[in-house]
Amino acid sequence: MTNISLKSRIEHFQDFGNHLPHAKVYYREDWETLYFDLAGKMFGVMSLNAADNATVTLKGQPEANATLCEMYRDISAGYHMNKKHWIFIKLSTDELSDQEIEKMIENSYSLVFSNLSLSIRKSFAKVK
Instruction: Give the chain's domain count.
Output: 1
Amino acid 2: pLDDT: 78
Amino acid 80: pLDDT: 82
What CATH number should be reported for the domain holding residue 24?
Answer: 3.90.1150.30
Spatial contact of 65 and 82, defined as CB atoms under 8 Å apart: no
Spatial contact of 45 and 58, defined as CB atoms under 8 Å apart: no
Splitting the chain (128 residues) into consecutive groups of 10 residues, what average pLDDT does each group show?
A: 87 98 97 97 96 95 96 91 92 96 98 94 80
Spatial contact of 58 and 34, defined as CB atoms under 8 Å apart: no
Question: Which residues form the domain of 67?
Answer: 3-127
Amino acid 127: pLDDT: 66
Q: Distance between CA 41 and CA 24 in Å, rounded?
A: 11
